Structure 1
Amino acid sequence: MLTKLIHLALAVAWTAVIFYDLFIMKYPRGPPTRLANLAWRFRFLTVWNMVLHCIYFYVSFAGDICPVVCGDKKKKCWLLSVRDNLFTAVVYPTSLFIPVAFWSLFMINRELIYPKELDAIVPLWLNHFLHSFIGVFVLLEAMIVHHEYPSLVKGFLQVAIFDMSYLMWTFWLRYYTNEWVYPVFQALSPIGLILFIVVSLTVSFFFYWLGRALHILRWTSSGTKQD
């Protein structure tokens, strides 16, 4: 019951955060129309992750009540497979990568990732919701819910597909608008940008591997079978 309540509460909370971020908060440099502003906001990985969190926790809650909906407690509901793949390959590694990357760059030079002018626009609670609490949420989820992880190779492939999708989107926006999504990209040389991307992908792969390793340690020690 507690797990169901946590999933539902976080799903509702993320719904409220998305509504506030996309429809209420106004950026001075944003496009004038609402539709264009929505597209403009989806430049950021944090917005992708915000939406993924919301989808994940709704899917998780549906999976919690899946035996009631499907009427078969012995057969694994397809929603649980969707939940596990979404969490292990996308939500977990991305939600650990963002806090590490964001706060590391913030401490080096905040203008590279989060210019000071945003302090007057983005509430402190929203900043931490998007860049800090996401890590806490996935670590808590990993501790209280057993997920089936794919093989290491398949997992790395899924992480790579998601990360490369975002990178392609970033480069397309650079080509279309002649402006980088993040100031740090503008500050780097071409070689530096390549190294930054390689390191970022490596960190994402590491967090997937770490999540899988901790998952096996957590659930094997508790007697739950890991497929």
Structure 2
Amino acid sequence: MNAHHPLQRLASPARSASFVLHLAGICSFLASFAYLHIFPQLPADSVGGDFQFLTILGLALSLATFAVGYAADLSLSRPLFETKNFLAVCVTPLEVLISVLYWSLCTIDRDLVYPPEFEGGLPLLPDIGFHLAPALFLTADLLLFSPPWTIRVQEAMILSLCIAFFYWAWVEYCFSYNGFYPYPIFQLLKTQQRVFLFAFSAVLMTGSTVVLKRLYHFLNGGIPSGTKED
């Protein structure tokens, strides 16, 4: 097996700690999907179903990322490991964004993310499974079992804008059939305000990419790419 990147803290792909982390993440994500199957949050016959939620789209991407990482650990495949790292560059900042937005909005007013019929929101354990665990698992994978990211700020902003406005288009498509938005905050905002919200979310996601890169180099050494020291 090839030696890992000199800044990568622990061996991966590997049938050791990396294997355990990816398996634990997969179990957590599957448990969240099992909860969603038992307690769906949106009508099953609505276009998009629960996949209208950014949280659920992010959870599916997290599951795919860790499934590829788990397969890489089992097979010790470098191509699969590189695929996992490519996916993580997109998914990890997204999950950090989801956690930041969700817990911030809940602190302000839970009615912004939960309709009136879901008074009190989710129980604590499922709430953590949906809105915190993916960000923690993916961040741990980055800091311990991944080489440093090479994506630059401009590239991260383009990627974030693409993800943000793809989600906006998806939400509006579902709304055109269902007549409701998955999050009450979307219903409260005018079109121009929703544009600002999605653009602001793209900026936050770009910021999470930058913070994650700097945290990686703070803990593991080296200089982040895209800085003046390059």
TM-score normalized by the length of structure 1: 0.80
Report if the CA contact (8 A) 1:146-1:219 is conserved: no
Secondary structure in structure 2 of the residue aligned to 1:179? coil
Determine the C-alpha separation between the residues in 1 that align with 2:120 and 2:170.
Answer: 28
Does residue 11 in structure 1 map to residue 26 in structure 2? yes
Residue of structure 2 equivalent to 1:214: 215
Report if the CA contact (8 A) 1:96-1:135 is conserved: yes
Q: Which digits, 9 at most, give the CA deviation of each residue in 1:17-39, with x for residues without a partner? A: 21231x22244x613xxxx3693
Does residue 163 in structure 1 map to residue 164 in structure 2? yes
Determine the C-alpha separation between the residues in 2 that align with 1:131 and 1:155.
Answer: 22
Determine the C-alpha separation between the residues in 2 that align with 1:160 and 1:198.
Answer: 7
Determine the C-alpha separation between the residues in 2 that align with 1:43 and 1:56.
Answer: 20
Report if the CA contact (8 A) 1:30-1:40 is conserved: yes
Report if the CA contact (8 A) 2:55-2:131 is conserved: yes
In structure 2, what residue type is equivalent to 1:30?
A: P
Question: 40, 44, 48: which is aligned to 2:49?
Answer: 40
Report if the CA contact (8 A) 1:56-1:86 is conserved: yes
Determine the C-alpha separation between the residues in 2 that align with 1:219 and 1:195.
Answer: 36
| Gap regions ≥5 residues in structure 2 | 1-15, 224-229
Report if the CA contact (8 A) 2:46-2:178 is conserved: no
Residue of structure 2 equivalent to 1:132: 132
Determine the C-alpha separation between the residues in 1 that align with 2:47 and 2:120.
Answer: 20
Determine the C-alpha separation between the residues in 1 that align with 2:155 and 2:32.
Answer: 32
Q: Which digits, 9 at most, give the CA deviation of each residue in 1:173-223, with x for residues without a partner? A: 12222322211111123332222222111101111122222223333359x
In structure 2, what residue type is equivalent to 1:200?
A: S
Residue of structure 2 equivalent to 1:62: 71
Residue of structure 1 equivalent to 2:187: 186
- Counterpart mapping for 1:61-100 below 5 A: 61-67=70-76, 77-89=78-90, 91-100=91-100
Report if the CA contact (8 A) 1:156-1:208 is conserved: no
Secondary structure in structure 1 of the residue aligned to 2:52? coil
Q: Which digits, 9 at most, give the CA deviation of each residue in 1:127-172, with x for residues without a partner? A: 1211122232223222211235243143433333322221210121
Determine the C-alpha separation between the residues in 2 that align with 1:15 and 1:4.
Answer: 16
Higher helix share: 1
Determine the C-alpha separation between the residues in 2 that align with 1:149 and 1:95.
Answer: 16
Report if the CA contact (8 A) 1:84-1:148 is conserved: no
Q: CA deviation at 1:114?
A: 2.0
Q: CA deviation at 1:119?
A: 5.2
Secondary structure in structure 2 of the residue aligned to 1:42? helix
TM-score normalized by the length of structure 2: 0.79
Residue correspondences, number = 208
**Percent of aligned positions that are identical:** 22
Report if the CA contact (8 A) 2:65-2:88 is conserved: yes
Report if the CA contact (8 A) 1:7-1:58 is conserved: yes
Secondary structure in structure 2 of the residue aligned to 1:65? helix
Secondary structure in structure 2 of the residue aligned to 1:191? helix
Secondary structure in structure 1 of the residue aligned to 2:24? helix
Residue of structure 2 equivalent to 1:111: 111
